[in-house]
Each structure stands twice: as C-alpha cells, then as structure tokens.
Structure 1
Amino acid sequence: MKLPFRPALLATMCLAAYGAHAGALTVQVSDSAGKPLADAVVVVDAEGGVAMPRVLTPGQIEQRGLKFLPLVTVIQTGSRVSFPNNDKVKHHIYSFSPAKKFDQKLYSGVTAAPQVFEKAGLVVLGCNIHDRMVSYVKVVDSPYFAKTDAAGVARIEVPAAGKYTVTAWHYQMSGAIAEQSVALRSEAPSALSFKLPLKPPPIGADAQSN
C-alpha cells in the first residue's frame, strides 16, 4: 500500500539525517545594563560550511489594532509569510529592504497573497496608510533559531556534536550582530549569554508589544 506523502515526516527525516542526537542550547539575552530583552533573535549556524537542512515553516504577520503582530518574525530562507488584515480599516504593506522589496496594495481581510522571502537579511515592513506601523522580519539560512521570551531566554534544539556559531540580534540594538562560538556535545545541554547595546528610543516613540 502506498503511504501518503507527509511534509512533516520529510522534515523530521532531514533533521535526523543531519544529526541523530540533539542537544538543547539555552541563550540569555539582555541589554548592557543586564535587563532581559524580549524579541531578540538567536540563530545557530554550523561552522565549516556544513550544509543546513531546509525546514520551511510558513509565517504569519497579522494587522490588528493598527499594529503588525508579531513585531518580530524569524523565518528560514525560502519561507512564505501571510498578512491577514484583522482590522476594520484597510492597510497597504510595503518593504524597501534589499533582502525583500515588495508593495502590497490597499486591502482588507485575507485577500493579500503570501510573500516568499528568498534572501537572508533583515526586512522592515511598514504601512503606507498608518506611518507608525512597523514590523521586522529576520530571514536566516539556518533552521535552528528562536526568539527570546519575556525573560530574555531562547531555547533551541540543535544537532549536538560539532562547532557552531551563535548570533544574537535585536531590532533596537546598536552596532554589529553579536556572535559567539560554541562546541556542542551529544545530548549535553549548553548555555550562552549575550549583552546587547541598544539605541536610545526615539523621542515620543510608543513601544509596540506582541
């Protein structure tokens, strides 16, 4: 009997082929004063040019309350992101970022087609109708990534054996992306911490929460 094709099963097989044993990496991200940072993006890349599996999980950024939710999204290169408008007014989404330029004309509901993000980098989204709306899409080549929670903690399951480069980024940080190297061992949990310097908030800026 021919079994049905299951994308989730294929993704699991790819991860298994890449590394049979998995280890947990816990990363604490805070600002220069030690305050935990939520919505920081932590990415783990294999060193030595090792090919990374592609596990494309669709993303979604909704518009609600004249905000993009979530404020920060992280996806693997090649993933699709949909933009449902759950407001009672129309929105017009755009991006001028080199990693993904697009212009989603005025619409409401779920009529906007998903966008495919095919190039790694940072994509900043805005709305032509509501200037204060902003969202950040971090597109990465690695399938091993996470956002920090309210306590500034990200937890990532990665193949344990080998050397990896771990990077941390926050939409308010100043300077280059922070980076550390770590040697992971089979089934042994590891922990790292980052302190990121932040830009001063713009005068009169309102914080947008997820």
Structure 2
Amino acid sequence: MKRPLSVLALLLSCNALPVGAAGLAAELVDGQGQPLVNAVLSLKGVGASTHNEPAIMDQRDKQFVPSVLAVRSGTAVKFPNSDDIRHHVYSFSPTKRFELRLYKGTPSEPVLFDKPGVVVLGCNIHDWMVGYVYVTDDPWFAVSDAQGRLILDGLPAGSYQVTLWHPQLQNMLPLNAGSLDVPAAGLSQRFPLQLAGGAVAPAAPKPSAFGEAFRKAASEVQP
C-alpha cells in the first residue's frame, strides 16, 4: 500500500541535468538540498521495461555492494561473496524471508524476489552489514548515484505516476510523489526528500543499524 506524500516532494526543474530524447534525468536531494545517494525512483504509466534480467548484490570489504538494489518483481538475485572470509546472509522481512548460511564464492541458486516490498538484509557474522532490496511492480526504476542523479533512458512520452523511496524515509515507506508528464524530447527534474534522520552514508552504518532496520522491517507496510 502506497502512502500519500506527507513530506517535501516538490518537483522542481533542474536545468543542470543532461537528458536525451524520450528519457528522464532526475536529481534527488535531501531537505538541505544535498545530493541523496541510494534513493529509488520508479514510474508507472506508459509502456514497459525489461528489468527482469538477473541481478547481483555482492559482498566486498564486509559491505553489501550495492547497499541498495532495486529490482522488478519476479527477479532472481545472486549474492556472491567476494571477500576472503565467509558471510551468512539472511532477511526477516515479510516481503522475502531467506537465509544463505556461511559461505564463500557464489551460492548455486539465486534468490527469487517475487512480490513488491522492502527487503532488509544482514549478515549473521558481521552485524554492521545492512543492505536493502527494493522490489517493485513498476516497469521503470533506477537508483541514484553518489551525486544524487539517475537517468531512465528510452522512456516513452506520456504521463507517469512517480514513487520515491530511501532507507531513511519515515518507517521506510515508499512515497507517492504524484504524476509527471514526460515529453518526447525528454525531461530533467529535481526531487527533494525530507528524511526521517538525514542522509546516512551506507558504507559506515552504526553498530545498531542492523537491529533497527529489522525492527522497522517487522512492522513495515508493503507498497
């Protein structure tokens, strides 16, 4: 269930962003106007996309890489371990409960994420490791980079419903950001988000981040 937008999510023009024809160039920023990394933007509307190819969330230097992965419902995700030590990956999230016991290398079977929602991941050995898989039914989606930017190429012109998500949003619930008209020439747009606790660098989580993330996941409302 999507929650109506109750925080800053005004859609402002951003002339500094490059954009090609039939596409969206988006910049996501926090309440102070700083670039927001690992924010997910998804669109529902015209056409379809081919985001069902297998995805990968690696483990490197005792961190999930990427720390936020967005996939479409029905996507199989591989969880290779590129470290020279073993990891024990698991999730208690209602969207997808699973466990990959102590292992090195790549498990033979990927994990299928077959329904929309937020999946919080952890490692039973290294409790500061926290990762997120955002599963969506929307055909168009992307995750912002370190500059808060993302690009959706090949987007047909038309009207779209916009959904935004970030791990630091209130209760980790996705936000309905209203509608967006994308012209045939493409569009540049800025999306400000007011986070519950400010933007946090995922590479340096607090020791309690793992437990807090799972506490939120236990009571989350699925999109």
Partners of 2:167 and 2:152 in 1: CA distance: 20
Partners of 2:103 and 2:141 in 1: CA distance: 32
Partners of 2:181 and 2:201 in 1: CA distance: 40
Who is 1:11 aligned against? none
Q: Give the alignment of 1:49-198 within 5 angstroms.
A: 52=48, 54-174=50-170, 176-178=173-175, 179-186=177-184, 188-198=185-195
Distance apart, 1:207 and its partner CA: 4.2
Q: Contact between 1:81 and 1:114, CA under 8 Å: does it hold in 2? A: yes
Q: Are 2:203 and 1:208 aligned?
A: yes
Partners of 2:156 and 2:99 in 1: CA distance: 41
CA-based RMSD = 2.3
CA 1:198–1:159: 2 relative to 1, 3 Å: closer
Partners of 1:31 and 1:192 in 2: CA distance: 14
Aligned AA (1:93): V
Who is 1:45 aligned against? 44
The one-character-per-residue Cα deviations of 1:118-165 (angstroms, maximum 9, x if unpaired) are 001111101111111110001111231111122211111254332101
TM-score (norm 2): 0.74
Greater Cα offset, 125-134 or 140-149: 140-149
Q: Which of 1 and 2 has greater Rg?
A: 1
Partners of 2:155 and 2:165 in 1: CA distance: 22
Q: Give the alignment of 1:7-26 within 5 angstroms.
A: 23-26=22-25
CA 1:38–1:191: 2 relative to 1, 3 Å: same
Partners of 1:155 and 1:106 in 2: CA distance: 37
Gaps of 5+ in 1: 1-21
Partners of 2:108 and 2:92 in 1: CA distance: 18
Distance apart, 1:76 and its partner CA: 0.9
The one-character-per-residue Cα deviations of 1:66-106 (angstroms, maximum 9, x if unpaired) are 11111010111111111111112211111111111111111
CA 1:67–1:159: 2 relative to 1, 3 Å: closer
Distance apart, 1:115 and its partner CA: 0.3
Identity over aligned pairs, percent = 39
